[in-house]
A and B are shown apart, each in its own frame.
Chain A
Amino acid sequence: MAKDGDNFATTRRKVLFGAGGLLATAQLPAAHAVEIGREQVTDAPVSDKTQQRQPFHGLHQPGIVTPRPAAGMVAAFHVLAKSPTEVERLFRLLTERIAFLMQGGAPPQLDDKLPPADSGLLGPDIPPDNLTMTVSLGASFFEQRSWLAAHRPVQLSRMAASPNDALDADLCHGDLLLQISSNTPDTNIHALRDILKNLPDLMVLRWKQEGSVPVLPPKPDGSHETARNFLGFRDGTANPDANDKALMDRIVWVTAESGEPQWAVAGSYQVVRIIRNFVERWDRTPLGEQERIIGRRKASGAPFGGKVEADLPDYAGDPEGTITPLDAHIRLANKRSKGSDANLILRRPFNYSNGVSKSGQLEQGLLFICYQADLEKGFITVQRQLDGEPLEEYIKPIGGGFFYALPGARDERDFLGRTLLEAAGHQMAGTRT
């Protein structure tokens, strides 16, 4: 929509928000000055968050315990890089592009007889806009490179179909997955196009799915609420606290004690599921049944027997399921027993909407993403507990896969995947060890 006015819109953004903008205002001719006060139809919507920036370097990759912004995307690739040298080039180039895109700035100016270095869709000065990009590898990445086969994370497998799944082969698996999230869909698309333009010989796109999170106004007391999914329910209430480092070390991050290869320490198992929701049918389901299926009140998000979202359901005091049905989604997913602590996962989902099915119904649902240190105890166990749940009448998983999110790039001299290449005995020049 705003494509026609990209240049103009960018100028305005700088005028309104850029540090140099105020100066520019003073220099603008009078005709422009009038326009500034009066919004035009094709003016870009404004945001004061375009300069939000997440750190790229660190022990872990960004985009995992990073608070989920409004727009997300996953893109799965077939990787052509086969030899250690090619894979090193792939990892280094990915690292370089991600570091640049998350930092923001001006791409190089080329001779105008050549195609430009950047798509330009965010203007000549790329804002970071809270972007994170997270790189993960599928089981096939290891299987198809004999020199890496012995270094596959122990639990990394090709996602098998659960009983209610109707997996579409064109929306499943992949050698490498990029999770891209930021404040706007445009920033994510810009990042994806940058990757496609810069790594054409190393990987090809297989499938992608974009999603969003409904935005809420800030609360006066500074507290936060869980976002709603397309079923209209709050989703993520019981998520473990991502600010609790010790908890994340136990639930999310692979550590030296995890029984995984040493190179994988500080990485995490990532599960992606494209879960279609039959929203027309859901909207025709009595409210009471919707709430019994989920296990929470729809308006408040409170559990049965509670008043507010933060209240905890008391399953121990409700063994027969008279308060929260035994087959309610939240009860099957998280039993809240002593042993079920081991099955906690960190969810980071987005809602997706794709158009219309052959039958004329909305193709939309949940782009489910979660992270865990132990895939079997995490997602696989939780999904097994959910198999056969009443919610299945209204949902149909159609795609996704299992991946391993690489450890972070520690600093400017490091790159994503270095520890894996070192473990495989690949000799590299000029890197820290």
Chain B
Amino acid sequence: MKPSRILSTSLFAFAVLAGSSGARAEVSPLDLVGPIADYKIYVSENLEKLVADTRQFTDAVKAGDLDKAKSLFGSTRMSYEAIEPIAELFSDLDASIDSRADDHEKAEKDPGFTGFHRIEYGLFAENSTKDLAPFADKLMADVTDLNKRITDLTLPPEKVVGGAAVLMEEVAATKISGEEDRYSHTDLWDFKANFDGSRKIFDLVRPLIEKDEGDFITKVSANFDKVDETLGKYKTAEGYELYDKLSEDDRAVLAAAVNTLAEDLSTLRGKLGLN
């Protein structure tokens, strides 16, 4: 998505809010100011951590410290994954930071394949830090650029609220299968971050609909709890077990929870009167 689109949709959303034509007139645009401001802080904190973690990670790659680089891969991505709906607003950076081999016609050999997964491919599939320094430098520069661009960005409310569902859509469409971190198999770290990022948004706007949408809130919370419980079984001292350890049954439990959360959270914008 191009930044120009963000601007136009954000203006549009505000216009609609001001006209109070939403299905739920009881939520006023002013009510959202607090949650959006809080979310902006959450995003900033994650970006700060992303920049610091990426620095450590890319330094290890460039120093040729294979074991350290490998051990930092899963955790470094978490602050990116938690705020993915916002990070993805800049499609050029999203492609260079987080694209996967199958986004490119020549797959791993494609010159357009850069970022986290290109480095992951080197570290885990080729078991080497050889020739990865340029990718490390590029990733560090992109992450720094992302931080700057988002700091300057006014977050469109419908993008923030919609982000809760978008995170679930991402997991449902391309992550639940273990395709995301196919060389390192650190997918469960990503899952955890995606769910946390989604739940954060839900929790921030929850007070606005608590009164009228009690059943909805109970159901969504229960599904988030189920996910936490399931992922909790795979917690280790450093983070999470590898994806191959995820049992077939637990994978189905997660898939059903993700689909249900995606269905339910897709109504969140409408419940808040957002376009």
A interface residues, Cβ below 8 angstroms from B? 161, 163, 165-169, 172, 278, 280-281, 284-286, 288-289, 321, 325-327, 357-361, 388, 390, 392-393
Determine chain B's interface SS by DSSP, over half rule. helix
- Which residues does chain A contribute within 8 Å of B122, judged by CB atoms? none
Please tell me if the beta carbons of A359 and B173 are within 8 angstroms of each other in the complex.
yes
- Nearest neighbor of A361 in chain B, beta-carbon distance: B173
B5→A284 contact, CB < 8 A: no
Give the docked Cα–Cα distance between A285 and B262 (Å): 10
Q: In the complex, which residues of chain A have a beta carbon less than 8 angstroms from the beta carbon of B9?
A: 390
Does B203 lie at the interface of the complex (its beta carbon under 8 Å from any beta carbon of A)? no
- Cβ of A322 to closest chain B Cβ, rounded Å: 9
When each residue 257-273 of chain B gets 1 if its CB lies under 8 Å from chain A and 0 otherwise, what string results?
00100110010011000
Q: How many B residues touch the partner, as a band?
A: 20 to 34
Q: 0/1 per residue, B84-105, Cβ < 8 Å to A?
A: 0000000100010000001111
Q: Give the docked Cα–Cα distance between A44 and B173 (Å).
A: 38
A166-B104, A168-B105 given; 14 more Cβ-contact pairs under 8 Å: A166-B103, A278-B169, A280-B169, A280-B172, A286-B266, A289-B275, A325-B8, A326-B8, A327-B4, A327-B5, A359-B172, A359-B173, A360-B176, A360-B255
Could you list 27 A-B pairs, sorted by A, with CB under 8 Å? A172-B105, A278-B169, A278-B173, A280-B169, A280-B173, A280-B259, A281-B172, A284-B169, A284-B262, A284-B266, A286-B269, A286-B270, A288-B275, A321-B8, A325-B8, A327-B5, A327-B8, A357-B173, A359-B173, A359-B176, A359-B177, A359-B179, A361-B172, A388-B1, A388-B2, A390-B1, A392-B1
Does A284 contact B105, Cβ atoms closer than 8 Å? Answer: no
The answer for the CA separation of A327 and B5 in the assembled complex, in Å, is: 7
In contact, B172 and A169 (Cβ under 8 angstroms): no
- Are B169 and A281 closer than 8 Å at their CB atoms? yes
Number of residue pairs spanning A and B whose beta carbons lie under 8 angstroms apart: 73
What are the residues of chain B within 8 A of A284 when measuring CB–CB?
165, 169, 262-263, 266
Q: Which A residue sits closest to B170, measured CB to CB?
A: A281
Q: Is B236 an interface residue (CB 8 A)?
A: no
- A388/B5 contact (C-beta < 8 A), A163-B95, A285-B266 known: yes
> Which residues of B, 179-219, contact A by the 8 Å Cβ criterion?
179
Residue B247, interface by CB 8 Å: no
Contacts of B262 in A (CB 8 A): 280-281, 284
- How far is A172 from B105 in the complex, measured between Cα atoms in Å? 9
Indicate if the CB atoms of B105 and A169 lie closer than 8 Å. yes
Which residue numbers of B lie inside 8 Å of A, CB to CB?
Answer: 1-2, 4-5, 8-9, 12, 91, 95, 102-107, 165, 169, 172-177, 179, 255, 259, 262-263, 266, 269-270, 275
Residues of B within 8 A of A325 (CB): 8, 12
CA gap between A167 and B179 in the complex, in Å: 16
Please tell me if the beta carbons of B263 and A358 are within 8 angstroms of each other in the complex. no
In the complex, what residues of B have CB within 8 A of residue A360's CB?
172, 176-177, 255
Measured in the bound complex, the distance between the Cα atoms of B262 and A167 in whole Å is: 27
Choose among A281, A288, A388, A390 the residue that contacts B173 (Cβ–Cβ < 8 A).
A281
Pairwise interchain contact B5-A358, C-beta atoms closer than 8 A: no
A393 engages B177 (CB within 8 Å): no
Per CB-CB distance, the 4 closest pairs between chain A and chain B, nearest first, are A284-B266, A358-B177, A388-B2, A167-B105
Establish whether residues A168 and B102, one from each chain, have CB atoms under 8 Å apart when the complex forms: yes
Nearest Cβ on chain B to A355's Cβ, whole angstroms: 14
Residues of A within 8 A of B8 (CB): 321, 325-327
The residue in chain B whose Cβ has the minimal distance to the Cβ of A168 is B102
CA distance A169 to B110 in the complex (A): 12
Residues of B contacting A390 with CB < 8 Å? 1, 5, 9
| Nearest-neighbor residue (CB-CB) of B169 within chain A | A281
- Roughly how many angstroms separate A393 CA and B165 CA in the complex, as a whole number? 13
Residues of chain B contacted by A358 (CB below 8 angstroms): 177, 179
Complex Cα–Cα for A172 and B106 (A): 11
Identity of the chain B residue whose Cβ is nearest the Cβ of A278 in the assembled complex: B173
A163 to B95, CA, bound (A): 9
Rounded to whole angstroms, the CA-CA distance of A393 and B102 in the bound complex is 17
Minimum CB–CB distance for B273 against chain A, Å: 12
A129 to chain B, nearest CB (A): 36
Instruction: Decide: B105 and A388 in contact? CB cutoff 8 A.
Output: no
Question: Once the chains bind, are A357 and B177 in contact (CB under 8 Å)?
Answer: yes
**CB-based nearest B residue for A393:** B1
Cα-based distance from A112 to B4 in the complex (angstroms):
69
Within 8 Å CB of B263, what residues of A? 284
B-side contacts of A281, CB under 8 Å: 169, 172-173, 262
Give the complex CA separation of A388 and B262 in angstroms: 24
With a cutoff of 8 Å between Cβ atoms, the chain B residues found around residue A359 in the complex are: 172-177, 179
Q: Which residues of B contact A163 (CB under 8 A)?
A: 91, 95
CA distance A47 to B255 in the complex (A): 42
Q: Which A residue sits closest to B158, measured CB to CB?
A: A289
Question: What's the nearest-Cβ distance from chain A to residue B145, in Å?
Answer: 18
Q: Which residues of A contact B266 (CB under 8 A)?
A: 284-286
Tell whether, in the assembled complex, residue B1 and residue A169 are in contact, meaning their CB atoms are under 8 Å apart: no
A169 cross-chain contacts in B, Cβ below 8 A: 105-107
Give the complex CA separation of A165 and B102 in angstroms.
Answer: 10
